[in-house]
Structure 1
Amino acid sequence: MTAGEAQEEHAGLELESEFEHSPVPPTHRKSLLTVSAVWFGFPMILTNAVPGGLVVAMLGFGRGLAAILVANLIMFAYVSLLSYRAGQTGKSFSLQATETFGTAGYAIASGFLSTVVVGWFAFNTGATGASLNKAFGWNETLVAGAAGIVFIAVTYLGIKALSWLGAIAAPLFIAAAGTAVVIAAQHSDFGRIADFQGVGGGAMTFGVAVTTIMATFADSGTMTADFTRWSENGRQAVWATVTAFPVASLVAQLSGAVLVAAGAIASAESAGGDFTPILTGAGSPLLDVLVVVFVVVNLGSVCTHCLYNGALGWSHLTRSKMRLLTLVLGVIGVLVALLGAWNYFVNWLSILGVLVPPLGAVLIADQIILRNRLANRQEQKFRPTALVAWAVGAAVALLVHLLVPSLSDAVVGLAAGLIAYLAIELPRGKPVPAT
């Protein structure tokens, strides 16, 4: 621990250091339960139920369910490998990226992803105002602004606050989704969900469906080290990841998928698995309170996690503190949300699906498959092999996106990035130790 981090930890506010610039030491690692709570409460959210329902609406229940399962299995392998390395070393995503892309080159990868997650913070903050405006007619701008301030405050408290929020958000989602199913069962036939053929008319391919599911968490999944570096070891980091992918992610996506297949959600081809209208349509004051709490806490979970990722990344880039960047980026994100950023949901998914998985693939190839080479490798400002492999993966994914839409550009980009890095690095042999 650096002197500055030790000083912050024992400051008057008694906030624990977030270790922006160094690995989390063994003395500050968290229990499996704590780290699991951080990840478990993140994907089990309404904005994950939406794509689950959308995929089923477009493909039908059988093919939609298959796409959801395939995407979650890939995400499990992808995020678990990155988490294992983080649990071993205690290093954040930025520190991992520094090893792979170089002491200056990492800024390209870290800056990109740290900015994208702030965009997700803005989107979900705006969605909070939009959801409560749609449900109750509340002033969208005021609600989004007030919610954003609360989300910033929670993020400011650090990793412990994320675990507390996750421990609340996940059970609350189960309660809300379960209640929606009970209400919907009164007028929908859940016994025929397997027969649902979809309403998309071929507008979405299986590959696009897999990308849609993966892209929802491709960014923070790639930055998983920011959360799982707090694990006691690599094995516990993987177990914490399992609670998110596939467990929490599947619960959220299948909730939306089942309700859509049962015919309980109107205009599912655009609304996806958003089940809040089912709750508000019951006309119960108690359910209305549940909806308000659910929307704020649920979307607050994803907002705080994304803002934490962004603030941690940018604090390392600027050699500053996570909490200062939480305030700066949080204010920027809220302002962007008030300008209507939540309207560009599909655009975000398209960008993420093409650019993010190849980046994570290069990290996996370098730090997991070729990990024995790290010890003897000399420090470089830029590691062109890693940057080129990322560019190759992204380019291949983009071509697939434009020319072969039947395939998943996220999966193809991931594979292309991995193969490109190994093809470049393996012939070079192991680095010679510095004398």
Structure 2
Amino acid sequence: MENEEILKKSQKEISVEGTEDFPLVEVPESERKGFWSISVVLLGFTFFTATMWAGGNLGVSFKFWPDLILLITLGNFLLGAYVAVLGYIAYKTGLSTVLLGRYSFGDWGSKWPDFVLGFTQIGWYAWGTATIAILLTKLLNLPQGWNIPLMIVFGFAFSWTAYVGYRGLEWLSRFSVPLMTILIVWSMTIATKDAGGLAGILGIEPTKNMTIAGAITIIFGTFVSGGTQSTNWTRFSKTAFSAIFGSLIAFFIGNGLMIFAGAYGGLVYQEPDIVNVLVKQGLIFWGIVMLFLNIWTTQDNTIYNFSVAGCNFFRTEKRRYFTVGGAAIGTILAILGMYNWLIPWLVLLGTFIPPIGGVIMADFFYKHKMRYPKITKIKFQKFNWAGILGYVAGALIAKYSPGVPPLNGIIGAFVFYVIFDLLFKLFRINNDHVVEGEE
């Protein structure tokens, strides 16, 4: 009788946590998803209009061949590899990035990545909300006074599928990803014709200048914040294959396609703004429909990320409350002018977000040898100083070293985590977690 009561209680707890998508515990095996489910959710996330804007800025700065093609390939390969490694960690542990942060940064120390990752996702949500409102007023020739009311409507409407959870994200992505693919191919076909075919494309000279390092930083920065939090979905993976190759399909191929499409339009029309490109191409109606769905699939993932970070920060399972609250904050930022901050925002993300992933990788692969004890069995130290100092070193390296800041930050954080951990061991400074029953 007692065992039956325990079983019922356990099933009830899993049911409650399941409706909130397990924000504070490992995803159980019974809730794991297959390759296509993981891939379509991640693709829905990376199919984002902001990525096309970033690509547009590359298109006006580099020749199509070989410069633009090589930059897009290299930048997205680096991003895809980074996300795939984090995806594997999420599959092995069943944990999100912010929960992995408790191991890597400590119980209190993990509140810093919670804040940074949550803040950046709210920034993206605000940008997407502002974008769809401005897009509609431009394409429909509405008065400028419509911008703010539309931002308020979309700011809350986009959060609905995130409120539902993983199932809502998957349903929307299955519908919108094929439509966005059609729009991209359609737009590029028109652009090729307008340029006079491939020969015309190859003959276009760039009108602006950008460094190679700056270009890769923008490519990497478009989704390094989201990629660092892609564990929110890869933790649902049934297999390592689903986590790794689902991540590569979304962040190498999917994100690469979005960058390429934006760069292609920017190159042909020497216009980095994708909305203006669609207007020139006459794709007003279908552009509105497909871009609306495109932005929505990223908006719901973005606000979902914020809600998961909020749950860890405040140690609560009420993910849905943070979904609605985050939507309100994002709407306010949209009204305050987030639309105009995209490129500085990408540079900021590319500098300060990647070291978080570097610390998590070092903690998982080096310190714990790919075997984390269950999160419910651990009494965490308040601060994992090797992780915190490794992050600071990585962020400083990303900010001040030459080359590609995001890549430098990841490698720097990983290396300095190992260095500081070895120093703590050398001087016999305890920097380990306490496992319950083994004190």
* Native 8 Å contact 1:48 1:253 kept in 2: yes
Shift of the 112–278 alpha-carbon distance from structure 1 to 2, 3 Å rule, reads closer
| Partner residue in 2 for 1:288 | 284
1:199 aligns with 2:207: yes
- Give 1:83 shift: 0.6
What do residues 130-168 of structure 1 show as CA deviations (whole Å, max 9, x unaligned)?
A: 112222223222222222222011211111111122222
Aligned residue runs from structure 1 range 15-414, under 5 A? 16-61=19-64, 62-138=66-142, 139-192=146-199, 193-200=201-208, 203-261=209-267, 263=268, 265-268=269-272, 271=273, 274=274, 276-281=275-280, 283=282, 287-320=283-316, 321-372=318-369, 379-400=380-401, 404=402, 407-414=403-410
What TM-score results when the alignment is normalised by the length of structure 1? 0.88
- Partners of 1:6 and 1:17 within 8 A in 2: no
What is the aligned length?
415
The 2-side partners of 1:345 and 1:280 are apart by 21
CA-to-partner distance for each residue in 1:266-315, whole Å, 9 max, x for gaps?
433xx3xx1x43443455xxx43312211211111111111000011102
Larger deviation, residues 305-314 vs 362-371? 362-371
Q: Runs of 5+ in structure 1 lacking a partner?
A: none
> For the residues of structure 2 that align with 1:4 and 1:382, how far apart are their CA atoms?
31
Once the two structures are superposed, what CA deviation does each residue of 1:150-203 show, in whole Å capped at 9, x if it has no partner?
201121111111112222222121111222123334422231323444222xx3
TM-score, structure 2 normalization? 0.88
- Assess, with a 3 A threshold, how the Cα gap between structure 1 residues 372 and 213 changes in structure 2: closer, same or farther: same
Distance 1:349 1:388 in 2: 24
Q: C-alpha separation between the residues in 2 aligned to 1:101 and 1:349?
A: 24
Tell me the SS of whatever aligns to 2:45. coil
**Separation in structure 2 between the aligned mates of residue 77 and residue 95 of structure 1, nearest angstrom:** 21
Residue 374 of structure 1, CA deviation: 5.7
Q: Report if aligned partners of 1:59, 1:206 keep a CA contact under 8 Å in 2.
A: no
Alignment gaps of 5+ in structure 2: 1-6
Whether the 8 Å contact between 1:183 and 1:278 is mirrored in structure 2 is no
Which region of structure 1 is more displaced relative to structure 2, 129-138 or 306-315? 129-138
* 1:313-359 per-position Cα deviation (integer Å, ceiling 9, x unaligned): 10222233111110111111112212222221122112111111111
- Give the whole-Å Cα distance in 1 for the aligned partners of 2:14 and 2:29: 18
Q: 1:238 to 1:288 in 2, by over 3 A?
A: same
Offset of residue 375 of structure 1: 5.1
Q: Quick one: distance in 2 between partners of 1:24 and 1:390?
A: 27
- The code of the aligned residue for 2:410 comes to L
- Aligned residue identity for 1:58: S
**1:411: how far off?**
1.6
Does the Cα contact within 8 Å between 1:362 and 1:390 map onto a contact in 2?
A: yes
Contact in 2 for aligned 1:87/1:235 (Cα 8 Å):
no
Q: Aligned partners of 2:53 and 2:171: how far apart in 1?
A: 24
Task: Determine the C-alpha separation between the residues in 2 that align with 1:4 and 1:340.
Answer: 47
Name 1:424's counterpart in structure 2: 420
What is the alpha-carbon distance in structure 2 between the residues aligned to residue 41 and residue 148 of structure 1? Answer: 18
Q: Aligned pair in 2 of structure 1 residues 188, 3: CA closer, same or farther (>3 Å)?
A: farther
User: Residue 135 and residue 188 in structure 1: after superposition, are their counterparts in 2 closer, same or farther (change >3 A)?
Assistant: same
Contact 1:126 1:338 in 2 (8 A): yes
User: Residues 374 and 106 (structure 1 numbering): CA distance in 2 closer, same or farther, change over 3 Å?
Assistant: farther
2:159 is paired with a residue of what secondary structure? Answer: helix
Amino acid corresponding to residue 109 of structure 1 in structure 2: P
Secondary structure, aligned partner of 2:194:
coil
Question: 1:119 and 1:152 mapped to 2: Cα distance?
Answer: 14
CA contact (8 A) 1:63 1:206 kept: no
Identity %, equivalent residues: 24
Contact 1:212-1:349 at 8 Å conserved across structures: yes
Shift in Å, 1:424: 2.0
Q: 1:191 is aligned with what amino acid?
A: L
AA in 1 matched with 2:68: G
Deviation at 1:123, TM superposition (A): 1.0
User: In structure 2, how many angstroms separate the alpha carbons of the residues matched to 1:143 and 1:88?
Assistant: 42
Instruction: State whether residues 83 and 241 of structure 1, in contact with CA within 8 Å, keep that contact through their aligned partners in structure 2.
Output: yes
- Aligned-CA RMSD value: 2.6
CA, structure 1 residues 369+153, in 2 after alignment: closer, same or farther (shift >3 Å)? same
Contact kept? 2:81, 2:248, Cα under 8 Å: no
Aligned equivalents of 1:206, 1:223: Cα separation in 2? 26
Letter in 2 for 1:277: N
Kindly provide the amino acid, as one letter, of the partner of residue 172 in structure 1: L
Secondary structure of 1:91's match?
Answer: coil
